[in-house]
Homo-oligomer: A and B are copies of this chain.
Amino acid sequence: MDAHIPFSERLRMMQGDQNPNNCPVRQVMQGIFGKWSTLLLLALAERPYRFGELRRLVPDISQRMLTQSLRDLERDGYIYRKVYPTKPPSVEYGLNDLGKSMLVPLHDLVIWASDNFAAVDSSRKIYDAQAAD
């Protein structure tokens, strides 16, 4: 809750104790930063969706990756999975409280990205042009 821990302290926390790979903060960040995770969380922020609806919302995701990404998000506790035993079956995905709370800072980062992508893009172009010399 204390936002005023200095960066160096946060960094030390991210190193883990003995094995840095065991650092829990890094592991959480990895889960959020997957290729599709952010996109799916944003979609579910609006309302729960069914599997097929999510496929249509994110047309360039493969069925395999959609299943796997949803499983991972469910495993981390960000979303729930609710099966309706109809025929044919329908499955609904939606945000848990943990997911809703995480989405607050994540959304701020997305806002930053959409406000600043032009600066990043122009920086890349300049860098690449100089590298071509």
Residue from B43, B45, B98, B119 within 8 A of A98 (CB atoms): B119
- A residues neighboring B (CB under 8 Å): 1, 3, 6-8, 10-11, 13-15, 20-21, 24-33, 35, 38-39, 42-43, 45-46, 57-60, 74-77, 98, 101-102, 104-124, 127-128
CB-based contact B21/A29 at 8 Å = no
Interface of A is mostly: helix
CB-based contact A116/B98 at 8 Å = yes
Q: Chain B residues near A35 (CB, 8 Å)?
A: 30
Q: Chain B residues near A111 (CB, 8 Å)?
A: 3, 10, 105
CB-based contact B77/A120 at 8 Å = yes
Chain B nearest Cβ from A82, distance in angstroms: 15
